Structures are given as structure tokens and as C-alpha cells.
Amino acid sequence: MTHSAADRLPIVEEVVATLTSAAGAGYGGAAALRAGMRRATDQFDERAAGTIARQLVDTLCRNPDDVRVLETLVILGLAHPGALTQHRISLSAEGLRLAALLERGGQYERAYCLGELIAETVQPAIGGPSKQEAEIVDQLVRDAEFAAARGRNEAAIRCLQEAQHIDPSRQDIAAAIRDLRRKREYRKSSALRAVKTAVFVTIFSGLATAVTLREHRIWSLWKSLPTANPDDVSGMRARLAGIESLLDQEQFWLTMPIALLQKDVLAHDIELLARPVLPIVTDVPGGENAAATKSPYAEADAARERGMEHAEKGRILEALAELRRSLEVAPPDWVYRTRVEANVAALEAWKQKNPGRSSR
């Protein structure tokens, strides 16, 4: 339950800010408590401390879990024990309640220092425990050691807390409680880390299994594609279609570069096999029928060769006739067309300059 600042008296706000400011100024543990005690001693006498203690108790009645107000009351009682006694307030009880609140908030070091400081202040005044109480404390300590040896830290802490309540002067008990709590927190953090590791390993193994199964499935599809021989165009086209379908179906897999490379190779080989094959030209005469079966490329090449022979022998007219014939019969994509056209233009220019030297 949270209360606003208006629920407290103005003087309570000032005292709380004065006596607890050391904890927020970088002091830790007993140093902050002792600094607050010095301020309480310097600024208030026992009568004023009693009045302030009454106001602090009224504030705590409205909000019992206000840690700062309770800490102010304990500091005031440590500095002026009589201020709490006149209102029948037990410094030990309030100190234990404050320590419990600090532990609940995770401030174990401050709670431990508070217990030690109260033990130093209260125990000299009330005297040591009786013989029967000392035996009870020793038995509780042994029970705590027995429980801790078997991993029952919670039971061990309860035994030690009961022993500390009987004999607050035993600083070894407070230290043992602190150590057991640290072990408990360490075990909790270790268990949390173990859970996180297990979750990570489970997720990673799941992803690895999923990827492995997917790769195996895709590899099975790859192995089931039709095979193709280098001279089998239909088989190559069937395999190319299967590879393209697999690439469209699956976006990415580990052996995908192999499929991409084979796709390009198959497409290139199919294109080469689809090109027309020129007939082989031989020197064996075949009559009119053989001449009729010659391709335009072969006829153009033969006319070009004859024209070049005539040009080398100086027979310009015969050379021009053969070269022009090669241009007539050659297809548009004939590789020698540009060169032959240049030769024809050069021979015609030479004939115009030398009309008398050109032979028939």
C-alpha cells in the first residue's frame, strides 16, 4: 500500500530526508547507518528524539512497510535508545522488521550490517543469553549445519534466524545466514542459466534438424531429375525443365549453386545443338545434282576463292565477275560479305584508273 507525502507530517519528511540521505550519497551498509546516527546525535536531544519517534510511529501505523520511515526510526533509536523506550518501542523488534523488509527488496548487505549494528548497541545493555538459551542456540546452529549439508538451505536459514533472535550478539550466525542466502541466489541464477542454455540448445537443435531434413528432401528431388546425355537434346531439355521447376519451388538451399551452374550449361548446350549444321564440302565432283545441293555459303566461298585467284593473276574482269557472283548467292549473314564488297570496290577503282591494262 502506497501513501502520498501528504500523509506524513512536515517534520517527519525533514527528519527522514536528514537521517537517510547518507544511503543515497554513496555510503554503503554500516557506514550509512553510522552517518545517520551521528546526524541524529548532533541535531536532536533525547526529548526531541522522543517526540519525533512518536510521529514516526504514527506514520508507520498508516503505512507499516515504509522502509525509509522505519529506517529513520531505527537510526533514531540507535542514537537515542531512551527515545524508543519511553514509547515502549523495541529497537530489536523494529530492527528485525527493517532487516526483513531490506532482504525482501534484495538489500542483503544492508540488512546484515543493520543486524550487526543493533547487536553491538543492544546486547551490552541487556546482557548475554542464559545458559539454557546458549544451549538452544548451539542446537539450532547444529540443526542448521545438518540441513545445509543436505541442501536444505531454507530450513537452515530458519534455524539460524531463530538462533539469531535468541542471541543477536552471535555475528557468526548473521554471517552464516548471509552466506546461505547468497548460495540460494547463486543456485537460482545457475538454474536460470541452465534453463536458458537448455532452451537455446533445443531451439538450435530444432533449427538444425529442420534444415537437415529440408536439405535431404531437396537433394532427393535433385537426384530424381531426368538424366541427359550430351547428344540427347530432348533429355537435356527435360532435365533443364526439371531444374527450373526445382529452382522455382525452392528459394534457397546449400547445393543451389550446383543447380544454377548446370542450368546455364544445359541451356548453352541446347542452344548449340539447335543451330543449323553446314554440309561438308568435298573436292569430289558430283555433277549437276551435287552442284544443286551445295549450300549458298559454299557457293559464295567458292566464287570468292575463284575471284581472288583471278585478281592475283591480274585478270581484273574475271575477278570482278566472280566476286560479284559470290555477293549475289551469299546469305546476308555471310562472314566474308564486308571484305568482298571492299575488294570489289578496290578492283573497280583500279580498273577506272587503268582502263587499258585490265584484261577481258
What does the pLDDT read at residue 357? 58
Name the burial class of residue 318, with classes exposed (0-12), middle (13-18) and buried (19+) by CB atoms within 10 angstroms of its CB: middle
Separation of alpha carbons 49 and 34, rounded Å:
16
What does the pLDDT read at residue 275? 64
What does the pLDDT read at residue 203? 92
Q: What is the pTM for the complete model shown? A: 0.35
What does the pLDDT read at residue 4? 45
Per-residue pLDDT of the chain (360 residues; tens, 9 = 90+): 444 444 444 577 777 777 777 554 445 566 777 887 888 888 888 888 888 888 888 888 888 888 888 888 888 888 888 778 777 787 778 878 888 888 788 777 777 777 777 776 665 444 556 677 778 888 888 888 888 888 888 888 888 888 877 777 777 888 888 888 888 888 888 888 888 888 989 899 899 999 899 888 888 888 888 887 877 788 888 888 888 888 888 888 888 888 888 888 888 878 877 765 555 555 545 444 444 456 888 888 898 888 888 887 778 888 889 988 888 888 888 888 888 888 888 888 778 876 665 554
What does the pLDDT read at residue 172? 83
What does the pLDDT read at residue 1? 40
